[in-house]
Structure 1
Amino acid sequence: MKKFLPTALLLASVLITDVAQAQSLPRRQNDVIPAQVETMYTRGLRYLSNSQDAAGSWGGGSGSRPGVVALCTLAFLAHGEDPNNGPYAQKIRKGLDFLLEKQKENSEGYMGPQMYDHGFATLALAECYGMVEDKRIAPALKKAVDLILKAQKINPRHGWRYDPTTRHADTTVSGCQIVALLAARNAGIPVPDEAIDKGLAYMRSCRSTNGAYGYTSKGGGRLTLTAIGSLCYSLAKKKDEAGYKKSLEFLKQNIRTQDSSYPFYFRYYMSQALFQADEELWNAWNKDNIRLLSVTQMPDGSWAGNHGNAFSTAGALLSLALNYRFLPIYEK
């Protein structure tokens, strides 16, 4: 792997901890939270709390990957849990410690083993910044963002794939990095407009005329990929683009369709894409999501999946988290 040396600007900004740049924990909306959602969410958090190990991860396999640890940590914050003094504060801090220790293992700040992991870990750091009282977060977040930007610069398609040195790209990994960059920007970390624009241009190159996104090209459009692409454009404030409207129509036409390969990954992105696009459409989808998740939650509060129950549970909870809207990334 090539060495990504930090720039002088990054070194100079490490000590910046201006509260004005950070983000405070948003307040709960006045909307009434469905009792069924609160019950499911509380049970799910209890499962995550009970199954976290001493290192701050969620056991062997996928549960020890930074991306899964990041999503589980975000699930606590998305419920409005106080990360400094609340009942789950220690769990949130242990997850954060795991991510920061993982970053220390790599001189470039890479939280691998894949860019999926790095993207979700960067998103978690961005959402924690300003919420969690920890001076380590600002420099770690800046370093994580720097790696994403440098990985894009060496990629001829201006996207991302599994490794930061790759010359290939796909819409799932690229979408993950774009969301992470936008979250970091919201937190006050400098992210060039050019990086966002080039990332969106890559996503656009994989969007067909009917608005559906393919994996590495316009062909083979998939619902989950279209939700990812749509979310990127929403968060980047590019909803007025004609292609975005076609993607929304594709999502609307297939709103009853399920992704059996990665069902919780699908729900995680679909909930955000529809909420950012059309709240009335999200309301309809949300009712179905609540119904389905209520009958598939396990007695221990988890959701089962072939990528590990920690990942499935985090995905399920975060798909419900739009009912609370605590995370800054959920703001419109």
Structure 2
Amino acid sequence: MNARCFVTALAAWIAVCAPLAAYGNDEEIDRVVTQGLDWLASRQQRLGHWTSQGRYPAAMTALSGLAMLCEGSTTTEGRYSENISRAVDYLISQSRPNGLIGDPLRDDRYTYGHGFSMLFLSQVLGEEEDAQRREELVDVLTRAVRFTAMAQTDAGGWGYVSAKDGNGFDEGSTTITQVQGLRSCRNAGIPVPKEVIDKAVKYIKDCTLRDGGVQYSSKGGGGRPAITAAAVACLFNAGEYDEDYVPRMLKYCEQHLGSGGQDNYGHWHYAHFYYSQVQYREAGDIWDSYRAATYAKLVREAKPVNLPDGKGVVWDQGYIGAVYTTSLNLIILQLDNAALPIYQR
């Protein structure tokens, strides 16, 4: 081999290996994930819930539980089985007669918690072996779906509270939580009215601008990268691959979110919680490139902390709080586990 060929081959080899080196080996990622989950476990409250600075118990409990499910644990097996079981019991206890999962007196944005709880509990239902708990979950989720249908606005979206409580206000981020929760419920065997999903999909399309960005609400507000990424993930969950809308939305996401990038638009972790799901479904080189850049950022930003019985890591960026940010990041880092049907290709 002459010198020129050798240099060319070496450059090609470096190009292939560089993305892997960027975020470390699998052992390093596994360590960060385990220590992050251990930190979450240490923050679980006596009643089985998590909060974000004392707020949003339903949403934080569901997201923390999802992060632990992604590891492969269930309510009966695995390192975090007890934590998951207690989280399930807590959310079941928060189910209201009208179907809402959460406390409307403590949470002025209860739709988020309701949607994430539907997602978490329906994923648990698919693996639950205890007959009594299965009955409880089916009952809670059936009523939760009815509440979501009742809470939908005339435009087809959802707001921070029900359409009745919010005078018909709707916006993109809460709409996504409901659609993904409904889709997960349907996959778990819970009846979901087709017209509710159809109205929601139409809502997303109606909010999509010419450049592919999804605006804040049906009333306007301009395109938002985070909501657009969430909308694409939501459409994929619903089996929608519209040749007109989806390519434009994907192009918009690529322009504004790139392959990890810096947070110059706000809500980085929320945006990439959904954008990572989109890129994972795209698979191949698209996922490999995104994974390298994003995992590098997450591993680098993990903050070591001491726990009573070992080491932990936490991500404390963002104004919502460490439980929220850590849960989202841990789900991103575990997508390759394919432990949950809702996040599978």
Q: TM-score range by the shorter chain?
A: 0.7 to 0.9
Does 2:154 align with 1:156?
yes
- Is the contact made by 2:74 and 2:84 (CA closer than 8 Å) also made in structure 1? no
Does 2:74 align with 1:82?
yes
CA distance in 1, matches of 2:194, 2:154: 18
Question: 1:59, CA displacement in angstroms?
Answer: 4.8
Please list the CA deviations of residues 46-84 of structure 1 after superposition, one character each: whole Å capped at 9, or x if unmatched.
101112121112256356520111000010101111320
- Is the contact made by 1:212 and 1:222 (CA closer than 8 Å) also made in structure 2? yes
- Is the contact made by 2:212 and 2:252 (CA closer than 8 Å) also made in structure 1? yes
SS in 2 for 1:207: coil
CA distance in 1, matches of 2:244, 2:330: 32
- Is the contact made by 1:215 and 1:225 (CA closer than 8 Å) also made in structure 2? yes
Letter in 2 for 1:75: A
SS in 1 for 2:215: coil
Letter in 1 for 2:157: G
- Is the contact made by 1:57 and 1:64 (CA closer than 8 Å) also made in structure 2? no
Please list the CA deviations of residues 134-192 of structure 1 after superposition, one character each: whole Å capped at 9, or x if unmatched.
2311111111111111112xx22121001112311111111110111111111111112
CA distance in 2, matches of 1:137, 1:248: 35
Matched residue, 1:110? 100
Letter in 2 for 1:53: Q
CA distance in 2, matches of 1:117, 1:157: 21
CA distance in 2, matches of 1:187, 1:101: 20
Matched residue, 1:248? 250
Matched residue, 1:73? 65
CA distance in 1, matches of 2:284, 2:252: 16
- Is the contact made by 1:115 and 1:173 (CA closer than 8 Å) also made in structure 2? yes
- Is the contact made by 1:248 and 1:277 (CA closer than 8 Å) also made in structure 2? no
Matched residue, 2:193? 192
Does 2:147 align with 1:147?
yes
Please report the TM-score for the alignment, with normalisation by the length of structure 1.
0.84
Matched residue, 2:289? 284
CA distance in 2, matches of 1:139, 1:192: 16
- Is the contact made by 1:151 and 1:160 (CA closer than 8 Å) also made in structure 2? yes
- Is the contact made by 2:51 and 2:61 (CA closer than 8 Å) also made in structure 1? no
SS in 1 for 2:314: coil
Unaligned runs of 5+ in 1: 1-32
CA distance in 1, matches of 2:55, 2:101: 14
- Is the contact made by 1:62 and 1:68 (CA closer than 8 Å) also made in structure 2? no
- Seen in structure 2, the aligned counterparts of structure 1 residues 85 and 238 have a Cα distance that, compared at 3 Å, is closer
Question: 1:129, CA displacement in angstroms?
Answer: 0.6
- Seen in structure 2, the aligned counterparts of structure 1 residues 60 and 223 have a Cα distance that, compared at 3 Å, is closer
Bigger CA radius of gyration:
2
- Is the contact made by 1:62 and 1:307 (CA closer than 8 Å) also made in structure 2? no
Letter in 2 for 1:117: G
Matched residue, 1:3? none
SS in 2 for 1:111: coil
CA distance in 1, matches of 2:284, 2:270: 20
SS in 1 for 2:315: coil
Please report the TM-score for the alignment, with normalisation by the length of structure 2.
0.81
Matched residue, 2:8? none
SS in 2 for 1:115: helix
Further displaced range: 107-116 or 89-98: 107-116
Matched residue, 2:342? 329
- Is the contact made by 1:63 and 1:311 (CA closer than 8 Å) also made in structure 2? no
CA distance in 1, matches of 2:77, 2:113: 27
SS in 2 for 1:161: coil
CA distance in 2, matches of 1:86, 1:156: 44
Letter in 2 for 1:200: V
SS in 1 for 2:330: helix
Does 2:128 align with 1:128?
no
SS in 2 for 1:78: helix
Matched residue, 1:23? none
Does 2:187 align with 1:174?
no
CA distance in 1, matches of 2:195, 2:78: 39
Please list the CA deviations of residues 30-58 of structure 1 after superposition, one character each: whole Å capped at 9, or x if unmatched.
xxx92232111111111011121211122
CA distance in 2, matches of 1:278, 1:247: 17
